[in-house]
Chain A
Amino acid sequence: VTARDRAAVAGVGYTEFSLDSGVTTMTLATRAIRRAIEDAGLSVADIDGLATYSMGDSVGPSMVAPALGLTDLSYLLHQVGGGTVSHGVIGNAMLAVASGQSEVVVVYRALNGRSGHRLGGTGTGLVNVNVETPYKISYGLFSAAQEFALAARQHMVKYGTTSEHLGQIAVNQRAFAVKNERAIKRSPITLDDYLSSRWIVDPFRLLDCCLESDGACAVVVVSAERARDLRQHPVLISGAAWGIGHTMLSNGWPDQTQSAVIHTAPRLYRMAGLRPQDVDIAMLYDCFTYSVLVQVEDFGFCDKGDGGPFIASGATAEGGSIPVNTHGGFLSEAYVHGLNHFCEAVQQLRHQCGDRQVPGAQVALSTGQPGLVGGESSAVLLRRADR
């Protein structure tokens, strides 16, 4: 017995995405949750589980539940972590529903990531407690941008990956964002624009890096049976997987051209009973362009090392064999720590994405950070229900 296809996504909700929300994370969280519940055709009183994740920068279920007048929840989760755990929290909601622990679990992520705490940045300071941290930060190494840049360098040296390959990821995603009314960045860009954008941390330029933004997303998870009678076409959670790769502590770091996804992906495909060639669209965690490149390889859409040429071929762009980040991703839509990727995947499978809809999409992959920073990784496979 597995949880394959036993839980479904019944609703998704968004706040506006901005650089300065002017409201608290409580406001963002409760708005996104109410919109997701409305999208599903349920009422707030139906919620019996709440789950989120944060880096200490947001409100947890113990505060959100009373704010929504909920006093009897059967499932609460506040996972410490960011993008690495994003899809693991959805996987936990899946398990809660599939086991019968809860009936209506809402997963949310709310953050003022630009106007409030900026991760690894110059804003208000929270330093993640990590055994490795003291050995890095004194050397000016405290941003995920720097750690991903160090990993990207190895891929460039080992496989001949170029700046143009990375740039094409940014260009493709912006082209999708032009068609997404939620996206913060909607002006088209060219490869020249990419190449002339300023260095952030060589080999990354400004346009390799995600936005920092304010906003929230929420997702309603119910049983597959219950989803059949609700407002939206059900989207089944066919698989969810967690993985752990290497960090400095593991003494087993052969190179950084492989991510923790090499452990996550086989479990994910096995649970879902699907193969890479069954996947129609992929929402790949794109804190930086290289994160997309390493994932198209490690999730098996192309051979190891061929990510650059694969992307240059147009395979991941509109009309390609596996369109990636059709919302524009963190690079162009907004940075909601993985949940905006998941919400886009759901809407694509509901065939509600208008001009950017991938025709007939049936299976979607949505992923968290591939573990190049922090070691952990998580991902989910979704399937449009037959109905």
Chain B
Amino acid sequence: MTLDHADLVDGSLVAGREPSFVPTPDADSAPFWQGLLDGELLVQRCTNCRRLRWPARCLCNRCYSEETEWIALSGRGRIFSWAISHHPFMAAYKEVVPFAIVYVAVSEQDDIVIPGNLTGPAEGLACDVPVRAVFGPEHGNVTFLTWRIEDSGER
């Protein structure tokens, strides 16, 4: 695989770039988006069985309880999978290719997989590499989640 990671456009320039894609929080997801604005990665925890879930929704898919609390994760995880988009697919992304798309499995419960972009140096990008949540960039009233490789020497 010939890939020059130095060519990758930083995820802070990718995330949230298309204004019409900036999410409109709904009754289920509003606390998650508010959490990002506040610098916290919030997921739901079932009050009954304690299972974590994300994305937000009204019931636990294990015990069907609708009783929920929101908890902040550590922001640590590992690369579940990654791909490099060389083709922009949509006009707004033409100026930011190639960029990395990552799926991150969070450290608290590894069946929670969060999509995002990579911020900072991409050297060492591979499955299972540890990453940490970065809160930004901001667009309008939304803060987007990006991810930084832990071992990149950039904290």
Q: Given A146-B101, A157-B127, A249-B55, A141–B86 Cβ distance below 8 Å?
A: no
Contact A146 B83 (CB under 8 A): yes
B16 CB-CB contact with A under 8 Å: yes
Mask of A172-210 contacts with B, CB within 8 angstroms, 1/0: 000000000000000000000000001111111000000
Interface membership of B117, Cβ < 8 A: yes
Give every chain A residue within 8 A of B93 (Cβ-Cβ).
140
A145 contacts B111, CB within 8 Å? no
Q: Is the CB of B111 within 8 A of A252?
A: yes
Q: What is the CB-to-nearest-CB distance from A226 to chain B, in angstroms, rounded to a whole number?
A: 44
A115-132 contact mask (Cβ, 8 Å, vs B): 1 or 0: 000001110000000011
Within the complex, what minimum Cβ distance (angstroms) separates A255 from chain B? 8
In the complex, the answer to whether A137 meets B18 with C-beta atoms within 8 Å is yes
Q: Which single member of B23, B88, B89 contacts A138 (CB below 8 Å)?
A: B23
A277 interface residue per 8 A CB criterion:
no
A163 at the interface (CB under 8 A from B): yes
- Chain B min CB distance to A153 (Å): 5
Name the one of B1, B88, B101, B144 contacting A150, with C-beta atoms under 8 angstroms.
B101
CA distance A358 to B117 in the complex (A): 46
Q: Which of B52, B85, B99 has the most CB of A within 10 A?
A: B85
Question: B101 — which chain A residues lie within 8 A by C-beta?
Answer: 139-141, 146, 150, 201
Residues of chain B from 90 to 114 with CB closer than 8 A to chain A in the complex: 90-91, 93, 96, 98-99, 101, 103, 109, 111-114
Task: Give the interface size class of chain B.
Answer: 35 or more
- Chain A nearest Cβ from B93, distance in angstroms: 5
The reply to whether the CB of A387 lies closer than 8 angstroms to some CB of chain B is: no
Q: Are A142 and B81 in contact (CB under 8 A)?
A: no
Cα distance, A203 to B101, chains bound together (Å): 12
Say yes or no for B61: interface residue by CB 8 A criterion: yes
Interface centre among A134, A136, A200 (most CB of B within 10 A): A134
Do residues B89 and A122 form an inter-chain contact, with CB atoms below 8 A?
A: yes
Contact yes or no, A141 B87, CB < 8 A = no
B29 touches A134 (CB 8 A): yes
Interface residues on A, range: 35 or more
Residues of A within 8 A of B53 (CB): 251
> Do the beta carbons of B115 and A141 come within 8 Å of each other?
yes
Residues of A within 8 A of B52 (CB): 251
What are the residues of chain B within 8 A of A201 when measuring CB–CB? 83-87, 101
Contact indicator A138/B21 (Cβ below 8 Å): yes
The chain B residue with its CB closest to the CB of A202 is B84
Judge whether A251 and B61 touch: CB under 8 Å: yes
Chain B hits for A146, CB < 8 A: 83, 85, 89, 101
Given A150-B81, A150-B82 in contact, is the A145-B89 Cβ separation under 8 Å?
yes
Contacts of A142 in B (CB 8 A): 21, 89-90
| Centre residue among B54, B81, B93, B99 by max chain A CB count within 10 A | B81
Is B50 interfacial (CB 8 A cutoff)? no
Q: Do residues B14 and A134 form an inter-chain contact, with CB atoms below 8 A?
A: no
Contacts of B76 in A (CB 8 A): none
- In angstroms, Cα B143 to Cα A184, docked, is 45
- Expressed in whole angstroms, the Cα–Cα distance for A174 and B113 within the complex equals 36
B-side contacts of A250, CB under 8 Å: 61
CA distance A136 to B89 in the complex (A): 14
Q: How far is the CA of A127 from the CA of B83 in the complex (A)?
A: 22
Report chain A residues within 8 Å CB of B82: 150, 153
Report the Cα distance A202→B15, complex, angstroms: 19
Q: Tell me which of A120, A131, A140, A202 contacts B117 (CB under 8 A).
A: A140
Determine if B6 is an interface residue (Cβ-Cβ < 8 Å): no
CA distance A134 to B16 in the complex (A): 11
Once the chains bind, are B113 and A253 in contact (CB under 8 Å)? yes
**Distance of A134 Cα from B55 Cα, bound (Å):** 10
* Complexed CA–CA distance, A138 and B140 (Å): 13
Q: If A138-B22, A140-B96, A251-B51 touch, does A154 touch B81 (CB 8 Å cutoff)? A: yes
Which residues of B line the A interface, CB within 8 A? 1, 3, 11, 14-18, 21-24, 29, 51-55, 57, 61-62, 80-91, 93, 96, 98-99, 101, 103, 109, 111-117, 126-127, 142, 144
19 pairs, CB–CB < 8 Å, chain A vs chain B? A121-B90, A134-B21, A134-B29, A137-B21, A139-B14, A139-B15, A140-B88, A145-B89, A150-B81, A150-B82, A199-B84, A200-B86, A201-B84, A202-B83, A202-B84, A203-B1, A249-B55, A251-B109, A253-B111
